[in-house]
Homo-oligomer: A and B are copies of this chain.
Amino acid sequence: MASTSSGAPPVSPLARPLPALSAVRGVRLGAVAAGIRYRGRPDLMLAVFAPGTTAAGVYTKNRCPGAPVVWCRMAQASSPTARALLVNSGNANVFTGRKGEETVRRSAGAVASMLDCAPENVFLSSTGVIGEVLPVQPILDALPAAHQALSEDGWAQAARAIMTTDTFPKAARRETRIGNTPVVLQGIAKGSGMVAPDMATMLAYIVTDARLPQPVLQTLLDEGVQTSFNAITVDSDTSTSDTVLLFATGRADNPPVSSAADPLLNDFRTALDSLMEELALLVVRDGEGATKLIEVCVEGAESDHSARQVARAIANSPLVKTAVAGEDANWGRIVMAVGKSGEPADRDRLSVAINGIWVARHGTVVEGYDAAQVDASMKQPEIRLTVDLGLGQGKARVWTCDLTHGYIDINGSYRS
């Protein structure tokens, strides 16, 4: 089995065990130790898809993306299908200039030769140190072994191979239907903080055996990330490599679907959204130094967009996050964060609840609220902060974790 390096931090107290995973028809995965940075653990993952697999992706909005993100955008633009995905950990291949682009091109070329496909059918991700050149040779050397290792049961190993400072591997699975046809969705993710110490990147890869045209797949992904991966924040920092890819191998013989709005997709969409939410929350649960998972619910906003901005301002506030770490039901800081979001808000309509108990209503403290009960509830590992702006119907949910000494330890220690 894979293990993280000897000096690995303790597993997050919010960790979840890897669920039971099984095959998804049309994809095989192999993971090997290429020795890119880590020793004695897999750091290179190859997934090979059945011909005709459609692929959809969403990528970081960071204006300085890594070379693999630039490559994926190009690959996606040039073809609706994918034959392979190659991911390495230990080096993010970000801010590496022409050498970085060459590593990407040669890696994709080598996989393409092996599979007899176009390089544009190979998707790539890298995660790890920023600014160091990612040498291509270890990858080229390890590729045959990765190819050899390909197996329908390679999921758990793949989940481990993409870890950097993650303290536990992350995966989720759903079984659903399109029409009467059973289909499977399975995904893995990595991320520990939006950016771990020099270890950039939140990555997630989801595969289904459903048969879906690329535009449908892309729409489902675009919509689903809004309430999952785009609704989490650990430290407000945006990685240069964030990537979520969704592959549909088409091995399930489901009825044809031509639009994401087709009611045939209702169950599938629900399953996909719920799987993405589960993966996203696993990333927050592994947030650097996290001891509490925080759900921020904003309602009564002028619009959903406005609600999301307010929720993010709360979730990104260092003062709110340290208060939760200190088990302090500090609603004054929540009010401050609402105000700083710049979104429409009226102090005299604003209400705040902590773990379901309203502590402030219409701009002033609720006289005689049960402070002892609120304080006691702050000791739970999962905290819910609710704000009702009292203005309209807009609402949003965002998840984050608390800000602790652990975060400072992990990020303030000198690079080794």
Residues in A lying within 8 Å of B, measured CB to CB: 60-65, 94-99, 129-132, 195, 197-198, 200, 235-240, 316-319, 322-323, 325-328, 330-333, 335-345, 347-348, 350, 360, 362-365, 403-405, 407-408, 411-415
Report the Cα distance A347→B364, complex, angstroms: 48
- Copies of the protein in its oligomer: 2
Q: Is the CB of A339 within 8 A of B240?
A: yes
From B60, B130, B403, contact of A408 by CB (8 A): B403
A-B contact pairs, 9 of them (CB 8 A): A63-B338, A63-B345, A95-B360, A95-B365, A200-B336, A236-B317, A238-B336, A322-B407, A407-B408
Specify which chain B residues have a CB less than 8 angstroms from the CB of A326 in the assembled complex.
411-414
Specify which chain B residues have a CB less than 8 angstroms from the CB of A336 in the assembled complex.
62, 64, 130, 195, 200, 237-240
Q: Is the CB of B99 within 8 A of A364?
A: yes
Q: Is the CB of A237 within 8 A of B404?
A: no
From B95, B339, B340, contact of A335 by CB (8 A): B95
Q: Is the CB of A331 within 8 A of B131?
A: yes
Specify which chain B residues have a CB less than 8 angstroms from the CB of A239 in the assembled complex.
336
Q: Is the interface of A mostly helix, strand, loop or mixed?
A: loop
Q: Is the CB of B343 within 8 A of A236?
A: no
Known contacts being A97-B364, A332-B95, is A404 close to B412, with CB within 8 Å? yes
Nearest CB of B to A193, in Å: 8
Report the Cα distance A323→B316, complex, angstroms: 19
From B63, B317, B360, B408, contact of A342 by CB (8 A): B63
- In the complex, which residue of chain B has the Cβ closest to the Cβ of A96? B364
Report the Cα distance A326→B198, complex, angstroms: 13
Report the Cα distance A253→B149, complex, angstroms: 88
From B61, B65, B317, contact of A237 by CB (8 A): B317
Report the Cα distance A62→B343, complex, angstroms: 10
Nearest CB of B to A192, in Å: 12
Nearest CB of B to A326, in Å: 4
